[in-house]
Amino acid sequence: MPTYEADAIVLHRLDYGEADRILTLLTREHGKLAAIAKGARKGKARTGALDLFSRSHMMLAKGHNLDVVAEVQRRGDVRHISGDLQRTASACLVAEVVDKVLEDRHPVSDLFDLVVVTLDRLNGLSRSPRAETAWFLMRILDLLGYQPQLLDCPSCSRPLPEAAGWFSPLLGGVLCATCGAHDQAGSPVSVNSLKVLRLMAAGDGEVYDRLRLSEALLHEVEAALEGQLEYHLDRRLKSLDFLRSTR
């Protein structure tokens, strides 16, 4: 069978038969694809190279229905993700979002790089997983073309002052005091939350990493970005429900 190489991340895995696993892989070269790892659940094969969210250099063989994992060389580990419930929940959100937005065999290098960086940072211990997940949400919204409108009111187009407002997923941004009302779908945004959201939208990761985000502020940022994502994907994400239950 013809073979090909791939820089791959395991997004999902499903036990199949007595010893095999079916994997959903995100690859740099070939996009999202499904493959079967034969004998992956046998004692000698349990090397951790096919753990959820792990990154490996793979050799895959073309198959009739599913391609076959022929060789795996692990790159790094995900022990801090697998050993922490909230980090696991955040990684599940990353995997579900990527699975939903990518078509099979359609490589998007920017998206692959974002997933690599996000999982690496979630596996580190220098920053809270909530802050890392919020950054991922803003970046994925930007890649999908759904970044929220944070400078002008999406309803009346007037410049937004540095003041509390109301975030509307329907209109895709923060409403001014005149247009925003708490009877609308959405969530409140304080002055500080608006500043943080603008910083994130500008992609200033160095400054963002230095911020000390309170739980209340993170909650407002999360509510806005999660609402925006679910509205534009037009679906409720199971991983988001899981993630919220860990907070």
- Please give the pLDDT value at position 206: 96
CATH code assigned at 167: 1.20.1440.120
Q: Are residues 70 and 162 located together in one domain of the fold?
A: no
Find, among 152, 217, 230, the residue nearest to 186 by Cα: 230
- Please give the pLDDT value at position 34: 97
- Please give the pLDDT value at position 45: 53
Number of domains in the chain: 2
Q: Are residues 70 and 133 located together in one domain of the fold?
A: no
Q: Are residues 37 and 139 located together in one domain of the fold?
A: no
Length of the chain: 247
Q: Are residues 239 and 150 located together in one domain of the fold?
A: yes
Q: Rounded to an integer, what distance in angstroms lies between the CA atom of residue 138 and that of residue 148?
A: 8
- Please give the pLDDT value at position 44: 56
Q: Are residues 146 and 62 located together in one domain of the fold?
A: no
Q: Is residue 86 part of a domain?
A: no
DSSP letter string over 149-178? B-SB-TTT-PBPPSS-EEEETTTTEEEPTT
H or E segment to which residue 8 belongs:
strand 3-16
- Please give the pLDDT value at position 184: 86
DSSP letter string over 96-117? HHHHHHPPBT---HHHHHHHHH
Give the structural domain span for 197: 127-246
Q: What are phi and psi of 57, to 5 degrees?
A: -90, 120
Q: Are residues 151 and 210 located together in one domain of the fold?
A: yes
- Please give the pLDDT value at position 191: 97
Q: Is residue 170 part of a domain?
A: yes
Q: Is residue 61 part of a domain?
A: yes
Q: Is residue 82 part of a domain?
A: no
Last residue of a domain, one of 33, 49, 76: 76
Residue ranges of the chain whose pLDDT lies below 70: 43-47
* pTM of the predicted structure, to 2 decimals: 0.95
- Please give the pLDDT value at position 205: 96
CA 40 to chain centre: 26
Q: What are phi and psi of 98, to 5 degrees?
A: -60, -40
